[in-house]
Amino acid sequence: MGPAFSALFAQIMFSPDGKLTRHEREMVAAVAASAQDCFY
C-alpha cells in the first residue's frame, strides 16, 4: 500500500493538471489534517 499511496499523493499534490494551485492543495491538506487533530 505504501508505494501506491505515495504515487497517488504525488499525482494529486504535484500534478500541474487540475483546477487548484499547489498552494490551494496544500491548504486543503492542512485544513483536513487540522480537522482530524493531526499535525501537518
- What is the Cβ-side half-sphere exposure of residue 28, based on CA atoms within 13 angstroms? 8
Whether the Cβ atoms of residue 13 and residue 28 lie closer than 8 Å to each other: no
Q: Report the residue count for the chain.
A: 40
Q: Where are the domains of the chain?
A: 2-35
Q: Is 2 helix (H, G, I), strand (E, B) or coil?
A: helix
pLDDT digits (tens, 9 = 90+) for 1-38: 699 999 998 888 888 888 989 899 899 989 999 999 99
pTM of the complete model: 0.63
Q: Is the pLDDT of residue 40 over 70?
A: no
State the Cα–Cα distance between residues 18 and 36, nearest whole angstrom. 25
